[in-house]
A and B are shown apart, each in its own frame.
Chain A
Amino acid sequence: MIRKLTLLAAAGMLAVSPALAADKVKIGYVTTITTPAGVIGKDVVDAVNLALKDIGGKMAGLPVELFMEDDGFKPAIGKQKTDKLVKQNKVDFVAGYLWSHVLLASRKSALDAGKFLISANAGPSQIAGKLCHENFFSTSWQNDQTPMAMGEVLNQKGVKSLYVMAPNYAAGKNMVAGVERTFKGKIIGKDLTKWGKDAQLDFSAELAKAKASGAEGIFIFYPGKAGGAFIKQYEQAGLRGKIPLYSVFTVDSIALPKLQKAKMDGVMGSVMTQFWAPDLDTPQNKKFVSGFKKAFGRYPSFYAAQAYDSIYLIKSAVEAVGGDMTNMDGMRAAMVAATFPSVRGEFTYGNNHFPIQNFYSREVVEDADGVWTTAIRKVILKDHQDPYAKDCKM
């Protein structure tokens, strides 16, 4: 009886779903709005709204409906929200995901339901490799790539020994693995610290160890607010000028205003690697950065840039099929082609649907208005593909 009803209902839904799907494009977005990491989520939300405004709120003539959900910085909640977006809101695309562990937990919910899953930040090695999926796309990078570029920078600078610190979660481990991949010197110490809702923010013991290790450099990955706290303590411990600091995803337009306010000018001129910077010279990026600054009065972060891209990627897919969202193959082919205007300029997608793109070194500078920002220096890795793509059977 129940089975029969289920079948009937399913048949009924199939019959009506194109009609339903055709009247709007539903996008579910999972990011972090509460907890201290909510500061990153704020950038993402702003960028998504800006992108929607820039495309006039329409894709292929259909209005876009956006469902923004908060993962609370917890994998379990992120998964729950993904389920909700898929099952209750019946979205066509699930996008967002700042954190690798949240993405790993939510992956199955979105993909099993036959939805497109678009990561606008997290790039865990598993999803680039063994767990790759035809309906997954990234508008960011695979975690290992940026620290791999940093490893090259360290080699060029002739750094011989390194002390490595990162948070103890999926992305943190990838970042450490990435720098180990390319760095030719010796890694003489490593600390993985507690992450998540109750992340460790006092690094006294670790900094003392780093100092005692006699390393020629400290490599860190501390996204969000932990980055600012780390740099502050690094300076308070008097390590500036003794052991240079090399970072990825730590000194960004979220940390810089605070560092500037606290007059931590030690951060000036510090070098990091990234696939993007506010001054990257592409038409789409100029439009994005100036639009963002005009709307919100601050520089966008790379999180914002990737989120902005994610909306344009979805738009390219919806428009390729003329708004017929039942045509998954058509939308997929359009996304694989990566023809949308990206803030990073032209790029291609690898077999695992992670971008093959350039990684630059960038430096903290003061702009014409006296605001601290980052500027591109040179290309470190050209058209770089992540090392896990070969494990992806696609």
Chain B
Amino acid sequence: MDWTLFVTQMLNGLQLGVLLFLLASGLTLIFGVMDFVNLAHGSLYMVGAYFCASLTDFTGSFVLAVLLALPLTALVGLAVEFIVIRRLYARDHLDHVLATFGLILCFDTAVQFLWGPEGMAIALPAVLDGQVEILPEIVFPTFRLLIIAVGLVVALGLYVVVTRTRAGMLIRAGASNRTMVAALGIDIQRLFALVFAAGSAMAGLAGMMIAPITEASIGMGNEIIIIAFVVIIIGGIGSIKGAFVAAVLVGLIDTMGRSFLDTLLKVVVSDQNAETAAPALSAMLIYILMAAILAFQPQGLFPPKGR
């Protein structure tokens, strides 16, 4: 195996990992603080991407579009929280799953209605559209490097917020004992809405980061949301650190599987079978990892304390 390829694939895996982290961190916060299973988190990922695409067309600047689309996505999140989610906190997980499943259908159709079925491409400024030579012979797309940087900055920011601020303290407290936080006279309603909006914005950010690569498209969140769930389950619900570790792990496994599994499989089965089986098997690896971890660690790698 040649090492430049290996390093490139590590970077690709890391990029996928931080993208998953952007999505999973919001999910794990919502889950941890409100005990709410939000399948529709992927829809906000999609909405973020579409907002960003439209705004890029309108303003002509990708960066400006991202800055405008972030609060917009958070607003959509707030609206959803206010209209539907708020009524469901007291219900069981079954109701969460069903109602947010319904939300996915609504969002997907609404997007098709508003933007049409064709999806939207996002033009990047020339600075971001090229590639850089990180190490000799290792050339990597600039924009993918940016995704990694954004993801790491968000991760760091979240870490600071969660461990150093009052809001973060409440979030941590909420994740370990919700009833107690409410009993202490904290406006739990507002905290929930705030966390939901922040989570939505981060999901939207993830969508904005991937759209210039794959385009914004209907249902783009439906597959990745399942992987994001795998990430937070592996990491332990409510744990930002767990989400980060698991996201990078899953990103690396997926990318490495796609890159090298077919070569490995060719040793055992015919070339043709290896080519077709490898992508599916590498997709399976993630779920195998999750089942294996849960079998030994039923609450994930970093289970929330005090529950």
Query: B-contacting residues of A (Cβ < 8 Å)?
Result: 33-39, 41-42, 168, 173, 190-194, 197-198, 200-202, 204-206, 208-209, 211-212, 225, 228-229, 232-233, 235-238, 254, 258, 261-263
Say which residue of B8, B121, B142, B144 sits within 8 Å of A261 (CB atoms).
B121
Asked if B143 is at the interface (CB within 8 A of a chain A CB), the reply is yes
Question: Are A202 and B210 touching (Cβ within 8 A)?
Answer: yes
* Cβ contacts B231-260/A at 8 Å (1 or 0 each): 000000000000000000000000100110
Chain B residue at minimum C-beta to C-beta distance from A225 = B119
Is the C-beta of B165 less than 8 angstroms from some C-beta in chain A?
Answer: no
Alpha-carbon distance between A300 and B280 when the two chains are bound, in angstroms: 35
Q: Is A168 a contact of B279 with CB atoms below 8 Å? A: yes
Extra contacts, 8 of them, besides A38-B118, A205-B13, A236-B131 (Cβ < 8 A), are A36-B219, A42-B118, A202-B16, A237-B131, A237-B141, A254-B118, A258-B118, A258-B121
List A contacts of B220 (CB < 8 A): 201
Query: Chain B's interface: helix, strand, loop or mixed, by majority?
Result: helix
CB neighbours (8 Å) of A39 from chain B are 116-119
**Is the CB–CB distance between A212 and B213 below 8 Å?**
no
Q: How many A-B residue pairs have CB under 8 A?
A: 124
A33 touches B143 (CB 8 A): no
Structural contact, B280 and A208, CB atoms closer than 8 A: no
Interchain CA distance A42-B223 in the complex, whole Å = 24
- B214: interface (CB < 8 Å): yes
Contact B222 A238 (CB under 8 A): no
Q: Which of B117, B121, B255 contacts A262 (CB 8 A)?
A: B121
List 7 contacting pairs A-B, 8 Å CB cutoff, sorted by A.
Answer: A35-B219, A202-B213, A202-B214, A205-B13, A229-B214, A238-B139, A258-B118
Question: A36 and B218: CB pair below 8 A?
Answer: yes
A209 to chain B minimum Cβ distance, whole angstroms, is: 6
Are B275 and A194 within 8 A (Cβ)? no
Q: Which residue of A lies closest to B12 (CB)?
A: A204
A-contacting residues of B (Cβ < 8 Å)?
Answer: 2, 4-5, 8-9, 12-13, 15-16, 112, 116-119, 121-123, 129-131, 139, 141-144, 210, 212-215, 217-220, 222-223, 255, 258-259, 262, 271, 275-276, 279-280, 283
Residues on the B chain within 8 Å of A200, using CB: 279
Bound: A36/B214 CA distance, A:
12
Contact A208 to B12, CB < 8 A, known contacts A39-B119, A194-B279, A236-B141: yes
For residue A197, which residues in chain B have a CB less than 8 angstroms away from its CB?
219, 222
For the complex formed, measure the closest distance between the CB of B152 and the CB atoms of chain A, giving whole angstroms: 18
Residue in B closest to A39 when the chains form the complex, CB atoms: B118
Task: With A209-B5, A237-B141 as known contacts, state yes or no: A193 contacts B279, CB within 8 Å.
Answer: yes
- Chain B residues positioned under 8 Å from A237 (CB to CB): 131, 139, 141
Complex Cα distance, B265 from A192, in Å, reads 14
Q: A34-B112, A202-B16 are in contact. Are A212 and B131 (CB under 8 A)?
A: no
CA distance A208 to B16 in the complex (A): 14
Question: Which residues in A have their C-beta under 8 angstroms from that of B117?
Answer: 33-39, 41-42
User: In the complex the two chains form, is B121's CB within 8 Å of A198's CB?
Assistant: no
Query: Is B8's CB under 8 angstroms from A208's CB?
Result: yes
Taking a contact as CB atoms under 8 Å apart, the answer to whether B129 and A236 are in contact is yes
CB–CB A36/B279 < 8 A: no
**What residues of chain A lie closer than 8 Å to B276, measured between beta carbons?**
168, 173, 192
Given the complex, which residues of A lie within 8 Å of B123, measured CB to CB? 261-263
